[in-house]
Structure 1
């Protein structure tokens, strides 16, 4: 990022922070993809809250961004295991913010397993969670009885441009890796598993590249939507897998179990839009498959009479090339700051919440002022 671009970004976030700084800023923990431009957002979080730690997503850490972030705040290691055990999570939060009012900024539902314990036994107060992703939104929404408010930006209209551009970056990175192997998209039959915002974007972009696309989704409403948009809709996943030369997983939950991989046609490519631990049950893959790197970020899985290729070890394929979605991501990040402001007021009931239309309009107007040039 050029110096003048960084100056503009910092100015934008300074303006957003001024709009949404609470009267009494809470402490916060921030889980985030620590990409090259992300320190500006981290500074904004630190401006509207007492940022106690940044926990970067392990597969999306830019070294320079981490060094810059560590100059002004604490960076800790993130893992599912840290939050899978409620006692471990409680000890961690206590070590950083004992006795404080805390907002948890999440990407993918990391805090769900420990949320009840945190709200019940933390020496301070958990004001709530701000969740960024559809995967995380589902995890919180499926919680039997949320013990605190959760402000979700996953389904905000301000996120629509990001979702479209993430889909575009997934298709770009998938095609780039295939070309490195001497293959191309054209002529392959693609299967998109999951027809949510990202899956539908991927399907449309593949179709625009003259790729035959089949869609599979467990939700009959989404299957009907896919059919209305001209896509072939698979009646069952196994049949769809056997005919696909490219499989793109976009569910946010397990798309392929161990036994599903044997149904892939020979030479099929598999890519995902999120982490392998969410989309693929690689541990369930039979041990008879050997694993051989065949290029940067491409692994060939092979057994007698069968082989397929896994891109980026099953992690989000678009992060290979930076996962850039341009300045549109700053709309979503501003809404996260608005979510902190909402939770800091302390008047939301436990359950799922969204930013209001007025705040979204304010964010969009500020963003247009800085980036519609």
Structure 2
């Protein structure tokens, strides 16, 4: 929980970022977010450029105290991916919160992507565009082809690199904490890292720093080459990568493990994810095939005759169990999201996938350095 002076400094940072952006009319905003401790300051920052019509917390990253705090000031609704994938249900929800208004969407994971074209065509107001935070969501919007509204993605922004690196560190910290909660350790357990993007690279590096042998698997041949150049063993297939693994960290955002893959998990291995189970693990397919038994805090054993493995945090982002904190570096990404919303509010952006201009990122970084590190 932020102390008052810390909250004041964060608010001052977001104020300076918002004040540096061009001003348009204030649109309504639907904001999907992780509702973790301290997230109220981000929503205050969003409110500097938009009217927050509703907050939609990611279901498995909700801090109860934060939920109560935000709920006292703003409309907080349930986030349901299936509902938003249905164009008519998504449209009905938008109409219930912002009928007839200019509207921007703040997304984390591509929730609005399946219905985007329908929303743009049929919404009674004007859909100005989307700001997307994650690589998984970036891929979902990019997969639509040329979108009819602008979609600002911060997923591949250089300002997100520090967050991605530190998320990887926190994932390993939390995975090790859960393994140790069962009086076990990582050492002596070969690790398999599935996905060698920015977070996967950080996970691999942190495991290596703990003297854990790491095998990397990625469907992208170039990334496997990169992993080899950085000293990791790589595998030509997922089955090969899993063969001797004692811990499996899934970092693809795109179903790293599907139903048939679980049969290849070695007995006694731990599985951890960097994102939600819906995006990373096809655990629902195991219902009726494996018995589920809680064996420790946030550790579940999946077992059937002759085969068992452990799933951490029900397959959700394991680092959220310990706050998922990456310090003030997260504010860089949040500030870029606010900048993207401000640009959309001006209503002058061309349709399609877009990035916040480099000069805006430079300004955000300079402001962050000044506010949090006294660098002018």
Q: How far 1:319 sits from its partner (Å)?
A: 0.3
For 1:367 and 1:82, locate their aligned partners in 2 and report how far apart those are by CA, in whole Å: 37
Deviations 1:294-344 (A, max 9, x none): 011000011111110000000000000000000000000000111012212
Counting only pairs closer than 5 Å after superposition, residues 187-266 of structure 1 correspond to structure 2 as 187-266=188-267
**Is 2:136 the partner of 1:140?**
no
Structure 1: give runs of 5+ residues left out of the alignment. Answer: none
Give the corresponding residue for 1:149.
Answer: 150
Alignment check: 8 A CA contact 1:259 1:285 kept: no
Deviations 1:31-81 (A, max 9, x none): 000111100110111121011001011111111111221222111111102
Q: How far 1:14 sits from its partner (Å)?
A: 2.1
Counting only pairs closer than 5 Å after superposition, residues 58-207 of structure 1 correspond to structure 2 as 58-207=59-208
Q: How many residues align?
A: 373
For 2:55 and 2:23, locate their aligned partners in 1 and report how far apart those are by CA, in whole Å: 20
**SS at 2:236 equivalent:** coil
Counting only pairs closer than 5 Å after superposition, residues 214-363 of structure 1 correspond to structure 2 as 214-285=215-286, 287-363=288-364
Alignment check: 8 A CA contact 1:258 1:286 kept: no
Q: How far 1:21 sits from its partner (Å)?
A: 6.1
Alignment check: 8 A CA contact 2:195 2:251 kept: yes
For 1:65 and 1:288, locate their aligned partners in 2 and report how far apart those are by CA, in whole Å: 37
Structure 2-normalised TM-score?
Answer: 0.97
Q: How far 1:286 sits from its partner (Å)?
A: 6.0
Q: How far 1:214 sits from its partner (Å)?
A: 0.4
Q: How far 1:3 sits from its partner (Å)?
A: 2.1
**SS at 1:20 equivalent:** coil
Deviations 1:168-224 (A, max 9, x none): 000000000000111111111000000001001101111111010000000111111
Alignment check: 8 A CA contact 1:21 1:47 kept: no
**SS at 1:283 equivalent:** helix
Structure 1-normalised TM-score?
Answer: 0.98
- Of 185-194 and 67-76, the range deviating more from structure 2: 67-76
Alignment check: 8 A CA contact 2:22 2:346 kept: no
- Of 13-22 and 316-325, the range deviating more from structure 2: 13-22
Counting only pairs closer than 5 Å after superposition, residues 44-63 of structure 1 correspond to structure 2 as 44-63=45-64
Q: Structure 1 residues 293, 21: closer, same or farther in 2, change over 3 A? A: farther
Q: Structure 1 residues 87, 206: closer, same or farther in 2, change over 3 A? A: same
Q: How far 1:18 sits from its partner (Å)?
A: 2.0
Q: How far 1:22 sits from its partner (Å)?
A: 2.2
For 1:53 and 1:18, locate their aligned partners in 2 and report how far apart those are by CA, in whole Å: 23
